[in-house]
A = this chain, B = another copy of it.
Amino acid sequence: MRALIVNCTLKPSPEPSNTEALASHVARALAERGVEVGTVRVVDLDIRPGVKTDMGDGDQWPEVHERLLAADILVVASPTWVGRPSSVAQRVLERMDAMLSETDDDGVPVAYGKVAGVVVTGNEDGAHHVISEICGGLVDIGYTIPAQAWTYWHLGPGPGPDYLDDEKGHDWAHSTGRTMAAHLHHVASALAARPWPAPAQ
């Protein structure tokens, strides 16, 4: 079983990414279940605006797309900016939009049968909204969202420290991340055992 963690931080490498740091706990918990886990830091690539799988002209989305197709489990990891998913996360959803039209010979979209979850970090507030927004998009694209397939970290109220700067709440966020990994693995295993039904006529 394979998982792909799509890190939607705004910060290019090698800057430290709070989002990557929290997502790494989910990655570890998936690996402990025998899942092969890869990561992509989207901001390091040239991902063109658009809603097709290949926007041509140096667009590096096709390589992410290939890795999405190869993964049974997707984790979208996003910071919260202005209370919402990052522009990089929204760019990812826009590019994934084309996956709804990519089907197998029976007309089943390529994402059907795959599962997804969300990791959120931020320095103030907004995690559940970021989770709802991203999960809402992923359900449209064809992913199944297991129960409590998310974890997050931020403190409130008002602007405060980043995840990497304050240990408070880490235990809760990591334990919640381990549960998330268990849920992703469980539902992915259940779905892997039977083919997704062809669409209603």
Contacts and interface: CB of A to CB of B under 8 A. Distances in A.
Contact of A139 (B51, B140, B149, B190): B149
A191 interface: yes
Interface residues of A, number: 78
A10 B178 contact: no
A152 B83 CA distance: 13
Given A87-B87, A125-B125, A200-B179, A82 B156 contact: no
Interface of A: 10-12, 29, 43, 49-51, 81-88, 90-91, 93-94, 96-97, 109, 111-113, 124-129, 131-133, 135-137, 139-150, 152-158, 169, 172-173, 175-176, 178-179, 181-183, 186-187, 189-191, 193-194, 196-197, 199-200
Given A86-B94, A125-B156, A179-B200, 16 more contacts: A11-B49, A11-B50, A49-B86, A82-B97, A82-B140, A125-B126, A125-B128, A126-B127, A128-B140, A131-B136, A155-B157, A156-B156, A157-B172, A158-B169, A179-B199, A186-B194
